[in-house]
Amino acid sequence: MSKKPLLSLEKVEKSFTNSEGQKLLVLDKISFKLEENEIVALLGKSGSGKSTLLRIIAGLTKPSGGNVFYRDKTVTAPAPGISMVFQNSALFPWLTVLENVEIGLEAQGIPPKTRRQKALNAIDTIGLDGFESAYPKELSGGMRQRVGFARALVVEPLLLLMDEPFSALDILTAENLRNDLLELWIDKRTPTRSILFVTHDIEEAILMANRIIIFKADPGSIQAEIPISLPFPRSTESEGFRALLDKIYTILTTSDREKFSKEKIRAKTATDKHPEYARRLPDVSVSELTGLLEAMESHEIKGKIDLPELADELHLDVNNLFPLTEILDRLNFIKISKGDLVCLPAGKEFSGADILKRKHIFAKHLLAYIPLAKHIREVLDLKSNHRAPEELFLNELQEFLSEEEADRLLRIIIDWGRYAEIFAYDYDEGILSLENPQ
């Protein structure tokens, strides 16, 4: 029996034009289908276009190419039957919980009495009973997000879209809300048949989804699709869960290495592409990197370390561990291979060294493997006074990155560079300089 899919994407593309008038391809030929009774997670690093895709499906943004079909109809504007939960439930502060939930129905022209009844039901379903007349500022973050869910569910959507709906909540609140939502869906206490949600949390994706679509960045495209058949309720401790975690980890780490070698080839052939120094860096501190290298040494068995196991030992979420291992890999302190970590000689030397020696090793690897560090150092070497204002680098980076991203990147490299003493930074004046110019 072949039924029409609820949602179908055909080669959806999106590009944005930056302030210089350059086109930036954010989504590249995204095609997939969503059947009824499916929960699908879109998993990928930040900047891979997940939110943009969700907004296109919700009819809030137009694609630059391709088509989105909801039940055979092209989506060009918000469609009845689809609703969306945002990361931060954007509630109206001057409206009560009840009024905030009702507002979704007003747009549909539903008479006031029915509106009220439906809103009360939705509030009840999502566990907000008793808070109908409260104002958003009187509620905790978790409760406010519940209101966001109630507002999305009150219109009885067949397809619910959610953009990182649990990421702003503390762990326990997120877990509660996730379980409540899953229960609603499993017990069919809501007409919502399918859920498509964005997350950057691997465990969250495995806990909730029947299928995970993994995104890679630059440009955002589908890298892999993984069906998940573990029965509900799922436990992060089960063997099946750990195996999937390993598998997805491997996919996410592999993509980075491939991307890197592709980037190298591209940089050689096309000069107008991102220069290597404008490549993203994960937001991690030197002390986190040092801490991980030290911990690895004592957890090494037969030359290898299992990533999820190490995360457990350090009481770190695997998602927090990922950016750390990514950068240690790029610095050639470790190698990631098939979900396992191998400490390279330089990594071992680093963890066994004293502080001065550590700085020395870190400086060597930073200059060798992180093009932005090398670039800054070269500019400072060239300048006769060996000084340069940070704006110089910010402007360069902003040719290829958003202002925010350029800022973030420079802040990270300044942090690392100062530790390595490859350059100094005057915080008050915003000046970078060489400490010992020679």
Length of the chain: 438
User: Is-contact 310 299, C-beta < 8 A?
Assistant: yes
The total of other beta-carbon atoms located within 10 Å of residue 104's CB is 21
Strand ranges inside 218-354, DSSP E: 221-227, 305-306, 334-337, 340-343
Can you read off the two tokens belonging to residue 141? 């973050």
C-alpha dihedral (327, 329, 332, 333), degrees to nearest 10: 90
CB of 109 to ligand ADP, least distance (A): 31
Between 54 and 388, CB nearer to Mg ion: 54
What letter represents residue 366's amino acid? Answer: L
CB of 148 to ligand ADP, least distance (A): 17
Region for 402 from its dihedrals, namely left if φ exceeds 0, alpha if ψ lies in -120 to 50, beta otherwise: beta
Between 100 and 199, CB nearer to ligand ADP: 199
Binding mask 277-316 for Mg ion (x = CB under 5 A): ----------------------------------------
Between 198 and 376, CB nearer to Mg ion: 198
Which stretch, 45-53, 203-211, 319-327, 397-405, contacts Mg ion (CB under 5 A)? 45-53
CB of 211 to ligand ADP, least distance (A): 18
CB of 49 to Mg ion, least distance (A): 8
Q: Taking CB within 5 to 8 Å according to partner kind, which of Mg ion, ligand ADP, none is near residue 15?
A: none
C-beta nearest to Mg ion: residue? 51
Between 45 and 144, CB nearer to Mg ion: 45
Site residues (CB under 6 A) for ligand ADP?
16, 26, 44, 46-52, 402
CB of 46 to ligand ADP, least distance (A): 4
For the chain, what is the radius of gyration of the CA atoms? 24
Residues 6+ apart with CB under 8 A from 376: 388, 393, 413, 417, 423, 432
Q: What is the DSSP letter of 301?
A: B
Contact call for residue 51 and Mg ion (CB under 5 A):
yes
Residues 6+ apart with CB under 8 A from 96: 132, 133, 134, 135
CB of 40 to ligand ADP, least distance (A): 15
Which chain residues interact with Mg ion by CB under 5 A? 51
